[in-house]
Structure 1
Amino acid sequence: MRLFNCRKIKDRATGVKSAARAVTGGRLVVIPTDTVYGIGCDAFNHAAVKALLAAKGRGRDMAPPVLIGSKRALDGIASDVPDSAKDLIEAFWPGPLTVVVPYTPTLTWDLGDTDGTVAVRMPLHPLALELLKETGPMAVSSANKHGQPPAETATDAKAQLGSDVSVYLEAGPSEDNLPSTIVDCVAHPPQVLREGALTLEQIRKIVPDTLDRDGYGPGQRPEDQEADEPGETADEPADAPSEETSA
C-alpha cells in the first residue's frame, strides 16, 4: 500500500506508473476525479471488481460505473447508444455526467447486476485521464465505505479503505464534492437517476423531455400544475406549503 503525492512532478509520474501496474495486476487504486475521489480497478477483471465491491461494503446490486479516457473509448464498450446520450455526451464530456447506456453483449466483464447496461463517464481531471489512457476502462466508484461520506482527498480515502487499496494518488482536495449527475438514457424518455454536479435544468437544455428522479417531465410536477390554477402564479401561490419539499 503506497500513497503518492501527485502534486509533485516526480511523484506524479511514479504514482501513475505504479497505479497502472496495480490495475493491470488486478489490484485496487484510489484516484482523483473532477468530482470526488474514486476507488477503481480493471473493469474486465472479475476478481478485481468483486474486491472493489467488497472494499466498499456493497453487493452486486450496486454495480460500479465505468470511467473511460476518451469519447472514442465508448464505442468499444457500448452498443446502440441512444441519441439522448450522444447529445448529452457532446455537451458535457469530459465532465460530471454519467450516462446509462446498453453495453456491447460480447464483452466478458462482470460488473454486477446491470441488466445489460453500463453507467459510463469521462472525467475532467488530467491525472485520471492520464491513468485511463494507460489502463483502458476502469470500474470506479466513490472512494468510501458504503454509507460514509465520499473522500475529498486520497488521505481521507486511505483512512476508510486502508490496505484494501494498493495505490493512492493524492492530488489535493476535490474541487467539487458533489458526485456526477446520472442520466438513464436507456429509458424513454431519459430520466435523471441522481442529480449531482449538473442540475436537471442543465440536462433539459440539451434533452428537454428528460424526467426528474420522481418520473415527472417538464411542468408535470403537482406543484407546477397547482401554480397554473386560477388565482395562482408560480411566483405568488395562493396558499404557501406548510413544509419545504426535498429537492
Structure 2
Amino acid sequence: MEPTETLSADDAGIARAAALLRAGQLVAFPTETVYGLGGDARNDQAVARIFEAKGRPRFNPLIAHVADLEMAETLAVFDAQARALAQAFWPGPLTLVLPLRPEAGISALVTAGHDTLAVRLPAHPVASALLRAFGGPLAAPSANPSGRVSPTRADHVRAGLSGRIAAVLDGGACAVGVESTIVSLGPEPRLLRPGGVPAEALEAALRQPLPAGGSETAPNAPGQLASHYAPGAPVRLGAHAAETGEILVGFGPVKGDLTLSASGDLVEAAASLFHILREADALAGPEGRIAFAPIPEKGLGRAINDRLRRAAAPR
C-alpha cells in the first residue's frame, strides 16, 4: 500500500479525504470522542479493510456515522424515544442502536449480520464537514490496532496504522477522549456501553431508568462480547470436499458450490462472508448442511475463522 497521507482539516484536505473514501479507501478522522477509522459503510470491501487494518480478531458490529438526522432516518427506523434522544444529544457522543431499514444498503459486515444498526451523529466540525462532503454513512471504529489504546490525536493514529490506511485527517486533539455511549431502543431502552453521555442524563431525557443490557451471544453494537452468528444449517469446517447433503463453500484452490474467494483473497472473503453464509443456508435448506474450505489463520483469516467457529459451535 502507498504511504499514509496526512491531510490538513481544510477544504482541500476534506475534499481529498472524501475522494479517497468514495474510492473505497480508509481515512482516519477526528470526532469529539476519539479518532475514527472511516470507510464507506455501504461498501463490503471498504468495511473488510477496516477489520484488516485494525487486526480486529472478530467481526463485531461497527457504528455508522452520519451527517445529520435526515441521513440517519434513511438507514434506521426512529420511534418517539429515539427521536427524543437524538434531539437532546445529537450531534454528540451518543450512539443509538435501532432497527435497520432493509433498503439502507448498509454492508452486512457493519451490522455483523444483525437487523439493527448502531448510528451516531458526531459533533466534531471536521467529522461533520467530512460526512457532508462524502455524502453517505461512514463505518468508523476507533483508529487504532485492535486491543490498543484508543487514539485522541493524529500522531496516535499514525503510530498504530501508518502504512495500513490511505490517510489521516488531522483535526487536532479530541475533546471527550472516551468512546460514545451506546443505547439500544428496542423493545425497551438499554445501556449497552457507558461513554461520553452520562447514563443519568439519558434517564432524565427518557424519564425512566436505563438498565444495562447487551448479549454475550448476539451483540448488536461495539463494546460487547463477540457475537455467535449461526445459520440454520449445521456447519462443518476444514472441508476439502462436500459430503452427502452438504453445500460446500470454497476458498482458493478448494472449489465449491459457492466460494468466499476463488483467488484466495482474505479481504474478498471477509467482505462476502455474511452474504455467503446466508446464501449457503438457503441452498442447504432445512435438512442440509454447510461445509467450509480451510481458511488460513492469518490476517483477516483469524476474524473469518473466529466467526465460522462460532457458526459451527454446538447449539
Q: TM-score, normalised by structure 1?
A: 0.80
Amino acid in structure 2 at the alignment position of 1:54: E
Corresponding residue of 2:208: 209
How far residue 15 of structure 1 moved from its aligned partner, in angstroms, is 1.1
How far residue 210 of structure 1 moved from its aligned partner, in angstroms, is 4.1
8 Å CA contact 1:43, 1:137 repeated in 2: yes
1:24 to 22, 25, 35: 22
Aligned identity (percent) is 34
Give yes or no for the alignment of 1:72 onto 2:75: no
Quick one: distance in 2 between partners of 1:129 and 1:180? 16
Quick one: distance in 1 between partners of 2:82 and 2:58? 25
Quick one: distance in 2 between partners of 1:77 and 1:167? 26
8 Å CA contact 2:131, 2:138 repeated in 1: yes
Q: Per-residue CA shift, 1:192-231, capped at 9, x if unaligned?
A: 111111111011001133433268xxxxxxxxxxxxxxxx
Q: Per-residue CA shift, 1:147-203, capped at 9, x if unaligned?
A: 1111011111111111121111111111111111000112x3210111111111011
8 Å CA contact 1:18, 1:167 repeated in 2: no
Quick one: distance in 2 between partners of 1:114 and 1:196? 25
8 Å CA contact 1:200, 1:212 repeated in 2: no
SS in 2 for 1:38: strand
Corresponding residue of 1:177: 177
Higher relative contact order (CA 8 A, sep 6+): 1
Corresponding residue of 1:57: 55
* Superposition misfits of 4+ residues, deviation over 3 angstroms: none
Quick one: distance in 2 between partners of 1:179 and 1:205? 21
Q: Against the structure 1 CA distance between its residues 102 and 154, is the aligned structure 2 distance closer, same or farther, given a 3 Å change threshold?
A: same
Point out where structure 1 has 5 or more consecutive residues left out of the alignment.
7-11, 216-247
8 Å CA contact 2:74, 2:104 repeated in 1: no
Quick one: distance in 2 between partners of 1:75 and 1:196? 23
Quick one: distance in 2 between partners of 1:105 and 1:152? 34
Give yes or no for the alignment of 1:94 onto 2:78: no
Q: TM-score, normalised by structure 2?
A: 0.63
8 Å CA contact 1:191, 1:210 repeated in 2: no
Corresponding residue of 1:134: 133
Quick one: distance in 2 between partners of 1:202 and 1:46? 36
Amino acid in structure 1 at the alignment position of 2:87: E
Quick one: distance in 2 between partners of 1:105 and 1:168? 32
Quick one: distance in 2 between partners of 1:176 and 1:107? 30
SS in 2 for 1:164: coil
8 Å CA contact 1:142, 1:150 repeated in 2: yes
Corresponding residue of 1:168: 168
Q: Per-residue CA shift, 1:52-75, capped at 9, x if unaligned?
A: 012122255312100000111112
Give yes or no for the alignment of 1:2 onto 2:1: no
